[in-house]
Amino acid sequence: MKVEEEHALQVHQQQFGQQGHASAAPARVNLIGEHTDYTGGFVMPMAIGFHTIAVISPRQDGRAIFYSANYKEEASFEVASLKAAPRDHWSDYPAGVLWALQQENISLGGFSMTLAGDVPLGAGLSSSASVEVATAMALQHHAGVKLPLEKLATLCRRAENDYVGAKCGIMDQFVVAGAVAHRAMLLDCRSLAFDLLPLPEQIRVVICNSMVKHAVATGEYGDRRDEVEAGQAVIHRERPGVNLLRDATLEDLEACKNMMSASSFMRCRHIITENQRVTAAREALLQEDMKRFGTLMIEAHKSMRDDFQASCAEIDLLVEIAMQQPDCFGSRITGGGFGGCTVNIVRAESAEQFVATLQEQYAAKTGIAAQCFVTAPSDGALALAVDGGAE
């Protein structure tokens, strides 16, 4: 990542005529636990080795100037008068973080910021959280403050929820900020307590991008969340003490079935069973039982496809091809859904052959060249800063 950081510093110097300070935040992939985070449930993400670099330097005119090295565009804001007024533009994400920090009465003077990165967009690898957390790391340096993990993640989530208007949960921002290399994170999205779980050395996590893009700030992602919250509200009303789907059982859901829409029932069934799968996956990892872990991934994909109805033909095909390979333990859709990527658990010695076979068969059936990445759990933004990385 040192090369990426040095490039971003050079771009900043060229754009603004000043040396800057660099911060970095990774992307993430979620191994299991989809659409559970915003109902207080369990997730199991890990950070991966794509990054957003944010380079910052002070200005004297009270303005915030964001420059995207990827889009080669600038966006300008008056720091003192910034309002929650998204433009449906890439700059909404860093501007949202600035706004969220101001809501916490963190004093910020004018600044120039360059953003550069290699996180695939619209792939379900959380390019938005990577931008948000990198921006927040840079802004806290600029303000001379150090935010704890929980506060940093919560402010970045607020930026996406209340400024951008995307109804994400806390998972993405939390793991992008707080991940640790060589570990998957089991996160309790209600308490924000987490375990760091080792992945066996003999397996690799392979991410396959269907090249079908999705946008989570609008459309079906928001519809699904509305359906979930409608069902959750019914259960909360009818079952005292069940505040979130995290607390609900399938028996609770069945008892309330006739009081909610069929779609809400299915969405809630996915989340309740998905929480059970995440806790079972934790035990499988602790026992290094990758066959069991893979079975849980397949069950999770079927639930996303059938109950949550958030898959698509290309993703289903990738999973089907993956599970025909002898050294693939499990495969499923990852991210918000409606395109994006699959995540696959594969024997290390077979990872390259797995990628070649999958790409060949997917292209033959769809005409699409899938991007595939063999990954390992990486450090989050806070660990990168502590370990002498870009921060």
Residue 117: exposure state from Cβ atoms within 10 A (0-12, 13-18, ≥19): buried
C-alpha 35/C-alpha 268 separation (Å) is 10
What's the token pair of residue 66?
């964001």
Of 316, 318, 46, 335, which Cα lies nearest the Cα of 203? 46
92-103 vs 149-158: helix crossing angle, rounded to 10: 120
Amino acid at 142: H
E strand or H helix at 158, and its extent? helix 149-158
C-alpha 374/C-alpha 127 separation (Å) is 18
DSSP letter at 80 equals G
Amino acid at 37: D
C-alpha 134/C-alpha 219 separation (Å) is 27
User: Within 13 A of 170's CA, how many CA atoms are on the CB side?
Assistant: 23
C-alpha 281/C-alpha 41 separation (Å) is 14
Is 316 labeled as catalytic in the residue annotation?
Answer: no
DSSP letter at 37 equals G
Query: Which residue is it, tokens 């609900």?
Result: 248
Catalytic residue among 37, 92, 172, 252: 172
C-alpha 325/C-alpha 337 separation (Å) is 23
Query: Cα 47 to chain center, whole Å?
Result: 9
- The b/e string for 357-371 (b: 16+ C-beta within 10 A; e otherwise) is bbbebbeeebebebe
Strands 111-117, 63-68: pairing is parallel
Catalytic residues: 172
